Amino acid sequence: MVAAFRQRSPDVDIRMTLSDQPLVASSDRSDLVIHIGELRSSNLISHYYIAPNRHILCALPAFIARHGLPAQPQDLATLPTIALHENNEDVTLWQLRARRTTVNIRIQPILISNNGEVIRQWAVEGLGIIMRSE
Protein backbone atom coordinates (compact mmCIF):
# COMPACT_ATOMS: atom_id res chain seq x y z
CA MET A 1 0.00 0.00 0.00
CA VAL A 2 2.84 2.39 0.82
CA ALA A 3 4.53 1.79 -2.53
CA ALA A 4 1.28 2.35 -4.42
CA PHE A 5 0.57 5.53 -2.43
CA ARG A 6 4.09 6.83 -3.06
CA GLN A 7 3.74 6.22 -6.81
CA ARG A 8 0.47 8.20 -6.86
CA SER A 9 1.87 10.94 -4.59
CA PRO A 10 5.59 11.38 -5.38
CA ASP A 11 5.77 14.70 -3.50
CA VAL A 12 4.88 13.09 -0.17
CA ASP A 13 7.79 11.90 1.95
CA ILE A 14 7.03 8.81 4.00
CA ARG A 15 8.67 7.60 7.18
CA MET A 16 7.18 4.34 8.42
CA THR A 17 7.95 3.10 11.92
CA LEU A 18 6.84 -0.42 12.84
CA SER A 19 6.84 -1.19 16.53
CA ASP A 20 5.28 -3.43 19.13
CA GLN A 21 5.13 -0.41 21.47
CA PRO A 22 2.05 1.82 21.38
CA LEU A 23 2.99 5.08 19.67
CA VAL A 24 0.42 7.02 21.68
CA ALA A 25 2.88 6.97 24.58
CA SER A 26 5.69 8.22 22.37
CA SER A 27 6.84 11.80 22.15
CA ASP A 28 7.34 11.40 18.38
CA ARG A 29 4.85 13.24 16.21
CA SER A 30 2.88 11.05 13.80
CA ASP A 31 0.34 12.07 11.20
CA LEU A 32 -1.19 8.59 11.14
CA VAL A 33 -1.03 5.73 13.64
CA ILE A 34 -2.59 2.35 12.89
CA HIS A 35 -2.98 0.42 16.12
CA ILE A 36 -3.97 -3.25 16.27
CA GLY A 37 -5.80 -4.25 19.44
CA GLU A 38 -7.56 -2.39 22.19
CA LEU A 39 -6.60 1.27 22.53
CA ARG A 40 -6.67 1.75 26.30
CA SER A 41 -5.75 5.43 26.55
CA SER A 42 -4.70 7.91 23.97
CA ASN A 43 -3.65 11.48 23.41
CA LEU A 44 -4.61 11.21 19.74
CA ILE A 45 -6.79 13.89 18.19
CA SER A 46 -9.36 11.41 16.87
CA HIS A 47 -9.95 7.68 16.73
CA TYR A 48 -11.60 5.65 14.00
CA TYR A 49 -12.57 2.02 14.17
CA ILE A 50 -11.35 0.51 10.89
CA ALA A 51 -12.17 -3.19 11.13
CA PRO A 52 -12.74 -6.04 13.55
CA ASN A 53 -9.68 -7.97 14.70
CA ARG A 54 -10.94 -11.53 15.01
CA HIS A 55 -8.47 -14.00 16.50
CA ILE A 56 -8.01 -17.64 15.56
CA LEU A 57 -6.29 -20.45 17.45
CA CYS A 58 -3.82 -22.30 15.23
CA ALA A 59 -1.80 -25.49 15.65
CA LEU A 60 -0.09 -27.96 13.40
CA PRO A 61 -2.14 -31.15 12.78
CA ALA A 62 0.82 -33.20 14.08
CA PHE A 63 0.74 -31.14 17.31
CA ILE A 64 -2.98 -31.93 17.74
CA ALA A 65 -2.29 -35.61 17.03
CA ARG A 66 0.38 -35.60 19.79
CA HIS A 67 -1.47 -33.55 22.40
CA GLY A 68 -5.12 -34.05 21.47
CA LEU A 69 -7.76 -31.55 20.43
CA PRO A 70 -8.95 -29.45 23.38
CA ALA A 71 -12.46 -30.58 24.35
CA GLN A 72 -13.24 -27.25 26.02
CA PRO A 73 -11.53 -23.85 26.15
CA GLN A 74 -10.13 -24.48 29.64
CA ASP A 75 -8.03 -27.35 28.22
CA LEU A 76 -5.82 -24.75 26.54
CA ALA A 77 -4.32 -23.94 29.95
CA THR A 78 -2.73 -27.41 30.06
CA LEU A 79 -1.30 -27.42 26.53
CA PRO A 80 1.95 -25.90 25.21
CA THR A 81 1.13 -22.40 23.97
CA ILE A 82 3.09 -19.70 22.18
CA ALA A 83 2.28 -16.06 22.85
CA LEU A 84 2.64 -12.93 20.76
CA HIS A 85 3.67 -9.94 22.88
CA GLU A 86 2.35 -6.71 21.40
CA ASN A 87 1.14 -3.36 22.72
CA ASN A 88 2.20 -4.14 26.30
CA GLU A 89 -0.82 -6.45 26.63
CA ASP A 90 -1.11 -9.38 29.04
CA VAL A 91 0.06 -12.22 26.79
CA THR A 92 -0.99 -14.89 29.28
CA LEU A 93 -4.69 -14.01 29.04
CA TRP A 94 -6.49 -15.35 25.99
CA GLN A 95 -10.08 -14.21 25.54
CA LEU A 96 -12.20 -16.58 23.51
CA ARG A 97 -15.52 -15.29 22.22
CA ALA A 98 -18.42 -17.22 20.77
CA ARG A 99 -21.65 -15.39 20.10
CA ARG A 100 -22.28 -13.35 23.27
CA THR A 101 -20.04 -15.38 25.58
CA THR A 102 -16.43 -14.61 26.47
CA VAL A 103 -14.20 -17.14 28.22
CA ASN A 104 -10.92 -15.98 29.72
CA ILE A 105 -8.13 -18.57 29.69
CA ARG A 106 -4.89 -18.02 31.59
CA ILE A 107 -2.11 -19.74 29.64
CA GLN A 108 1.50 -20.44 30.59
CA PRO A 109 3.31 -19.88 27.29
CA ILE A 110 6.40 -21.95 26.64
CA LEU A 111 7.59 -19.39 24.07
CA ILE A 112 6.93 -15.65 23.70
CA SER A 113 7.99 -13.25 20.94
CA ASN A 114 6.97 -9.80 19.78
CA ASN A 115 7.22 -10.92 16.15
CA GLY A 116 4.22 -12.58 14.50
CA GLU A 117 6.30 -14.39 11.89
CA VAL A 118 8.49 -15.90 14.62
CA ILE A 119 5.55 -17.31 16.57
CA ARG A 120 3.99 -18.58 13.34
CA GLN A 121 7.21 -20.42 12.52
CA TRP A 122 7.31 -21.96 16.01
CA ALA A 123 3.74 -23.20 15.50
CA VAL A 124 4.65 -24.58 12.04
CA GLU A 125 7.45 -26.48 13.74
CA GLY A 126 4.86 -28.06 16.05
CA LEU A 127 5.97 -26.38 19.27
CA GLY A 128 2.58 -25.11 20.45
CA ILE A 129 -0.75 -23.42 19.85
CA ILE A 130 -0.82 -19.77 18.83
CA MET A 131 -3.55 -17.14 18.73
CA ARG A 132 -3.29 -14.93 15.65
CA SER A 133 -5.34 -12.22 14.02
CA GLU A 134 -7.48 -13.33 11.14
pLDDT tens-digit readout, 61-108: 999 999 999 999 999 999 999 999 877 778 899 999 888 899 999 999
Residues 6+ positions from 132 with CB-CB distance below 8 Å: 55, 56, 58, 84, 116, 119, 120
pLDDT at 19: 67
Q: Within a domain: residue 122? A: yes
Find the CATH number of the domain harbouring 95: 3.40.190.290
Reported as a pLDDT band with limits 50, 70 and 90, residue 119 is: very high
How far is residue 102 from each of residues 80, 97, 109, measured CA to CA in Å?
22, 4, 20
pTM for the complete prediction? 0.68
Tell me the per-residue pLDDT of 25-35, one tens digit each, with 9 for 90 and over. Answer: 555 666 777 76
Q: Do 132 and 120 form a contact (C-beta atoms < 8 A)?
A: yes
Give the per-residue pLDDT at 52: 75
Domain that holds residue 117: 55-133
Number of structural domains the chain divides into: 1
Residue 28 lies in a domain: no
